[in-house]
Amino acid sequence: MDYVKIKKKPVAISNGNLYLESCNIDKISDIKRLRKYPNLKEIYAEKNNIETIEKLDHLTKLKKLHLEANKIKEIQNLDTLVELEELELGGNQLSEIKGLENLRNLKTLLLNNNQIRKVEGLANLSNLEHLDLSFNLIEKVEGLVNLKNLKFLNLSDNHIKNLAPLSKLIKLERLYIANNPVANMDFLKALKNLKKFVK
């Protein structure tokens, strides 16, 4: 077991995992000596006051990054985290999806409870299996058509009228679309693997 310091308080690093939930962090640079741990596999820093994603470029072996319930306005500085498989950014202040192009190993992406209006910047994420975009301001879903391995998709509580593009996501097993003004459900006929559907 080792320790890093946050605002002069020691925080344990256990088995390559760093837990920083509710530590009153304003910036990732508050985590002193983080550069000494390039082999970190998981960081959990939810429920803080983080506004920008920074100082993580050396963590090239990182698999999971949890930053939900912060104050992040932009997805940035993740280009070198090519091993990342799980990224949680729900409950922030994001208005657009960008900066994820290099994260080709990503399997889980949570962007719920933000202010995202357009689904874009996901085309390269061909390994993505779990995507949560609920509680946003999304109107169109054409930006999802390349996610051929998607099994779980939550689009609840948006402003989507047309879900026809989802007919291309034939591996979908769970789909949530509650509280959207969708009229036509014909797209469901193509989703032969669907096990759970919530409208």
Domain of 30, CATH number, reads 3.80.10.10
Domain span including residue 144? 96-199
* Structure tokens that stand for 125 in this block: 């994420």
Structure confidence at residue 190 (pLDDT):
97
Report yes or no: 157 and 134 within 8 Å, Cβ to Cβ: yes
For residues 55 and 11, which has the higher predicted lDDT (pLDDT)? 55
SS3 67: coil
Mean pLDDT of 120-132: 98
Q: How far apart are the first and last CA of the chain?
A: 47
Structure confidence at residue 13 (pLDDT):
81
pLDDT digits (tens, 9 = 90+) for 45-91: 999 999 999 989 999 999 999 999 999 999 999 999 999 999 999 99
**Counting every residue, how long is the chain?**
199
Same-domain check for residues 49 and 101: no
Same-domain check for residues 69 and 143: no
Please compute, for residue 86, the number of CA atoms within 13 A of its CA located in the half-sphere on the CB side. Answer: 10
pLDDT digits (tens, 9 = 90+) for 153-173: 999 999 999 999 999 999 999
| Tokens 């990342």, located at residue | 84
**Cα(78)–Cα(179) distance, rounded to whole angstroms?**
32
Domain count, the chain: 2
